[in-house]
Amino acid sequence: MSSSTIDRLRLDGRVAVVTGGAGAIGRVYGRALAEAGAAVVLADLDGERAEQAAEALASDGLRALGVRVDITDRTSAADLAAKTTAAFGGIDILVNNAALMAEIPQVDILDLPTEWFDRVMRVNVLGAVICAGAVKASMTERGGGRIINQASAGAFLGGGIYSVSKLALVNITVGLARSLGPLGINVNAIAPGLVDNEPGLRSLPADHPARAALAATIPGKKSAPAEDLLGTLLLLASPAGEWINGQVISVDGGWVTRL
């Protein structure tokens, strides 16, 4: 592969916002985007942890800022966009990664309290839409951008409210790709399988009988660290992925397959 092909995976001069940036995967995503050359804003409901995560990047010479955001609040999302623009000049990449997952009560959807139904849909679905809306003006002004929605293999496997919310996010990915495409904004989604981190383990403990049953249905690697998602993230965020739009890319060892 020529070095110009590799160069097209770099993000020098770009500005990326990662929601849920203080979380397990968000921190890994933020570091990868920064190491690829982007200035990165780690945005999270837990502002203190977002700032600490950004400081860890900055202490390694990377350009990073931690910002508190509640993605379900339009004013807060607008404030995130304004702070990002003030710090780094605008926004080129949004990773809609914040979500509720491990905290959701593991009960049959028929028994899920209405407030949890509303809460999950509000954070996992509306939150991503609000953030996309908040970055649209800046991306448009800069001639385009990338929005990457963090879906899940669960979207295609059915079950609880989490799966419902992630399939809604896939649908929104396609809709936004169509509406924002003419502005030069590509919208895609990553659908990870089971990630080897604390929230993943909390959602499905290693010794849970369902894990062995699930693993039997996955032809490849059963679970993986967040680092295994980074190739896809960088492809979707970088010039190398310019022609990819409105897609959901499963990174799950072949757990979910589609013809």
Ligand X SMILES: NC(=O)c1ccc[n+]([C@@H]2O[C@H](COP(=O)([O-])OP(=O)(O)OC[C@H]3O[C@@H](n4cnc5c(N)ncnc54)[C@H](O)[C@@H]3O)[C@@H](O)[C@H]2O)c1
Q: Which one is catalytic: 162, 186, 200, 224?
A: 162
Q: Residue 11 phi/psi, 5° resolution?
A: -125, 25
DSSP per position, 117-144: HHHHHIIIIIHHHHHHHHHHHHHHHTT-
Asked if 30 interacts with ligand X (CB under 6 A), we say no
Q: Which residue is nearest to ligand X (CB)?
A: 23
Please select the residue that binds ligand X; options are 123, 147, 161, 233, rule is CB under 6 A. 123
Do the beta carbons of residue 60 and residue 104 sit within 8 Å? no
In angstroms, give the least distance from the CB of 166 to ligand X.
7
C-alpha closest to that of 20 among 246, 208, 195, 254? 195
Distance CA 95, CA 173 (A): 12
Whether 29 is catalytic? no
Distance CA 103, CA 193 (A): 18
Number of residues that bind ligand X (CB under 6 A): 30
Please select the residue that binds ligand X; options are 16, 18, 54, 99, rule is CB under 6 A. 99
Closer to ligand X by Cβ: residue 145 or 200: 200
Closer to ligand X by Cβ: residue 72 or 186: 72
Asked if 24 interacts with ligand X (CB under 6 A), we say yes
> How many CB atoms lie under 10 A from the CB of residue 61?
7
Distance CA 124, CA 126 (A): 6
Asked if 66 interacts with ligand X (CB under 6 A), we say no
Which range binds ligand X by CB under 6 A, 53-61, 80-88, 175-183, 194-202? Answer: 194-202
Q: Which residues bind ligand X (CB under 6 A)?
A: 19-20, 22-26, 44-46, 69-72, 97-102, 123, 127, 150, 152, 192, 194-195, 197, 199-200
Residues taking part in catalysis: 162
